[in-house]
Structure 1
Amino acid sequence: MFKRITLFLATNLAVLVLLGIVMSVLQGVFGVRLDGGAGLLVFAAVFGFGGSLISLMMSKWSAKMATGARVIEQPRNEAERWLVETVRRQADAAGIGMPEVAVYDAPEINAFATGASRNNALVAVSTGLLRSMSRDEAEAVLGHEVSHVANGDMVTMALVQGVLNTFVIFLARVVGRVIDGFLSGSRDGEHAGPSFFYYVIVFVLDMVFGLFASMIAMWFSRHREFRADAGGARLAGRHKMIAALERLAQNQGQSTLPNQIQAFGISGAVAHGMRRLLLSHPPLAERIQALRDAPLDEHAVRQGVVS
């Protein structure tokens, strides 16, 4: 688990550092001052949001490539027919376009949703889930993933990451310039230009601020998992959603999902202490208790979905 978190942070920080290098090259080529003020903020926003939005637009394609997921065009058997029809029914109930439905080969019980919009999404389940879960439990997992799509969680997370990246890039360079000016003895910023130490300082600040940004992003991610659980309970029934989470708790292990889509899987990791700040999912026990403590959904009761 800690290795996966380290890889996730390293990837995000590498992106930030790469953006910083690109900005430095642009500054040197075009002579534009990007070390403070509105110009820096604009460039930080362009690069900060650019990476997140490109990743969002490519999310379905990259998820299919990374997991080897096979989209069900024509169901091959009764299980695949059930998957497609269940997702279709839940998508209609949630008021979204029909997502692509896919299966990927993995031993663990897991599923994920991704896509650029509510009407252009992908819902995929692992072969381990199909082998190990009952239909009621699998229905709840699908409801959880459809709720992610209906809530616009993929877009929200991309925007949150874009905002965080923007401020990391901006603040690292503003603070770096102040520190560099102090160390060079020119606190009014009139020294010849950024020194070698400025780039070292910015590199370190990118990592430090990037770590705090990742904590904030993971807090948002944990919050949206509770919402998706509630959505799954509305679409499939609270008792089914609780049973699905209990089954996940019994079989929780290392995920084989690639780092870039682990936050969109239903099964999270286990951690204690400060490591919890970097988890994309709340502990399953907390998610189960939140569902048990939630008031009855009267609309779901009227529609015949027993809570």
Structure 2
Amino acid sequence: MDQYSKSVALNQISILTISSLPKSHSPLIALPPEIFLNICKHLPPFDLFSLTRVCRLFYNDLCLGDSVTIQDIWRQSRLVFMPYRQMGPPEGMNEKEYVRFLVEDKCYFCGRRNKSSKIYWERGVRSCFECLKTRTKTQEELIETKLVPPAVLHLLPCSYTRSIPIFWLDQIMPKNEEFKRLTSQECLVWMDKQRNITEQIEKEMDLRFFEDMAAKKVQKTERKHAIDAKINELCLEKNENGTSKYLRRYLDQCHSLKNSYKYIRPFTEKSWRLLKRKLAREYSELIEQEKENISSQRLVALEKKVYWID
């Protein structure tokens, strides 16, 4: 049977199977695995993660195992829909884990979804600021407390927070213990080896830093476009008398709208519902303030007129 005949046969089987499904089941469940996986190759990461939560079958198809097919799906999704992320996953991560790491704003340590969580490539984690503080020490703190000799610190990769170099305790303490066990002759070899390792890590971190900057720029632009599209729709809403319910010049003055442009996380329908409620409240307050200002101006003008008449 040639490829075309196989395709026709698969489609016929799919149609028959789908037609026999209960209405409560998704037609996707009836698709042959080959067709389902082929569809998945053209989906963005967020849609793939949504599919994995639909049922165990989809989860197994997209997450279980480390097959080339599964990894190719996640890799293609990343390269097509996140073109600013061309570098492959760091050591110890597969493609699916890497994509989740990039898109899921969740602290690795406490598990909380936190808008202030940040990727620390040197440690290979996302961390919120609270967890970061308990798991790192600055260079000054380590030297003052004499936990790690300066000679060892200078050979280890560091992260940065607010331009201050910090070191992850679970990385430097084992290295320090390793250093203590070395003889004088072994120290030189160890230091030279560690220096080369750190140089390679820092080169990779520089490349990932540039990708981070590109990602933030694209994500911020995409978020702004998504917000503006919703605001434009909002401006089309009418009152009962046919006048515009919202005017853009007043919406642009709302603090909640200004703040929403600052973030880089995706702007979802849930985000819009929350923002819309805030905008409605702030918009009403602005209109009331505008009315008061106009009334005050008219009153002042009237008082001046009366004064000149007198």
TM-score greater than 0.5 by the shorter chain: no
TM-score of the superposition, structure 1-length normalised?
Answer: 0.23
TM-score of the superposition, structure 2-length normalised?
Answer: 0.23
Q: Which has the higher contact order (CA 8 A, sep 6+)?
A: 1
